[in-house]
Every structure is written in structure tokens, then in C-alpha cells.
A and B are shown apart, each in its own frame.
Chain A
């Protein structure tokens, strides 16, 4: 049985690529990306609630999603839709409001095979610094990494290929 696990790779200094298979036809996976109503049902970690959403899904339209964490903290994300080719491609920009000006361009491509859909999300940053700055925002938590987890992680990374 093929795995539906998320694969994250950094094929170049400016990119982050994510790949994931879904047991659903492509038009449905595409549709799930087209409105606030859909996004509310899945975007972001479960413990975060979407408290604000604007989603003008057309080329040149903009989007903004604010979600609230368990301690009541709000995080805003925004961008604009650059290219929309149903049901195979969406190109949009992504900016975390906590780091204004650091804008990445994300291309979502959807490929269908045997009723299953492979989603490939390629995020391209303008500079290495911009990509790494984005990475830095994820560093505040979990500072106490143990050797056990490190070994686990290494084994996982080593066996991934």
C-alpha cells in the first residue's frame, strides 16, 4: 500500500518542496483550496482555529487567513493568487505577517493517477536569507531536543531515501 506520508525536501537553497498523496480525485483536492469555507476545514494545525479569512480566489485576487493558537495568540498569513489552472495548478504568494516582506511563491501542482492525487507544493524564496528567516520562525519551540529524538530523527532521515 503506497504511503500517504508527507515528504519535505530542500532541493536547492531557495526552495522547499512538499509532496503528499491523497485518496481523492484531483478536482476535489483542487476544490478544497478554492474558498474560506473549504480552507477552514483543514488549513493549519488542529489546535489553531481560523478566526479571519478573506479569499478572493481568482488570478490577481488576494487572500488572508488569521488563525488563533491555544493561548489566544493570532498569526496572520497573506498573499495573492498569481495563476489558477483548474484542476491542475495554483500559483500563489505566501507571507507570514510576523515577518513582513518575506514573500515566497508557492506552486501547487496536482497530478491524478488511479483516482489518487499527488500534490506537490514548491515554495521558492527570493533569497537564501529569506528562506532561512522563514525557517528561523519555527525555532522558538522545542529547544530541549534530546539525543534520543535526534537519533530517531537521523534514522528517519537516513532511511527516507
Chain B
């Protein structure tokens, strides 16, 4: 699982690949369909798909001509869960720090008054 999480992170590090995954979250798509919103050639998109496939994030259909790409949720779910919990801890801590800093600033103003 740890090695695969690494591969997942590496695959997700690229904005185009994240955009491809976002598209696939709506359902299966062919390379042609996936290339549409990008200013990118189909071979370039295919290359990104290959990285996603190796990371286990995407699988390709059997249809020899079109080989539609499909989102594989499991590795993403793992990343999403981690990202969610890690973020949650610090998001909430820093939101609290925000409030606390406001309080401290208020106190400081009173002291200076």
C-alpha cells in the first residue's frame, strides 16, 4: 500500500492528469473525448493515461479500437482519505489559531490603549 500511495501521489502531481481524472469521474471516456478540452495532442493525452494506468488510477477497456478509459477509485480513495484527515487536523487547528490570534490582537490593543 505504501509504494502504491507513492505512485498515486506522483501520478496526481500533474495538473493535466488531475483534470483527466476529474473528467473520468463522470464516466468512461475515449482518448479522443478526453483530449477535447485540452490544447494537447492525442499522443500526449495517451502518455498521461499510461502514467495513470501504471499508478492503478485508470483502467482501459478491451475494445481494441477505442479502449475507453475508466477511473479506478480505490487508490484515489486512499489518497482522498489521507488528504482529508491530514487536512482536517491542520485546517481546524489553523482556523482555531486564526480566532486565537484575533483574540490576542484585541488584548494587545487594550494593553496599548
Contacts and interface: CB of A to CB of B under 8 A. Distances in A.
Contacts of B81: 138-139, 141-143, 145
B90 A128 contact: no
28 contacts: A8-B83, A8-B87, A13-B9, A22-B101, A23-B101, A23-B102, A24-B101, A29-B101, A32-B104, A43-B93, A44-B89, A44-B93, A46-B92, A119-B94, A129-B2, A135-B82, A136-B82, A138-B81, A139-B81, A139-B85, A142-B84, A143-B81, A145-B77, A145-B81, A150-B25, A150-B80, A153-B84, A157-B22
Given A32-B97, A42-B97, A46-B92, A24 B105 contact: yes
A41 B100 CA distance: 7
Contacts, number: 126
* Consensus secondary structure, chain B interface: helix
Contacts of A132: 1-2, 5-6
B100 A42 contact: yes
Interface of B: 1-2, 5-6, 9, 12-13, 15, 18-19, 21-22, 25-26, 73, 76-78, 80-94, 96-105, 108
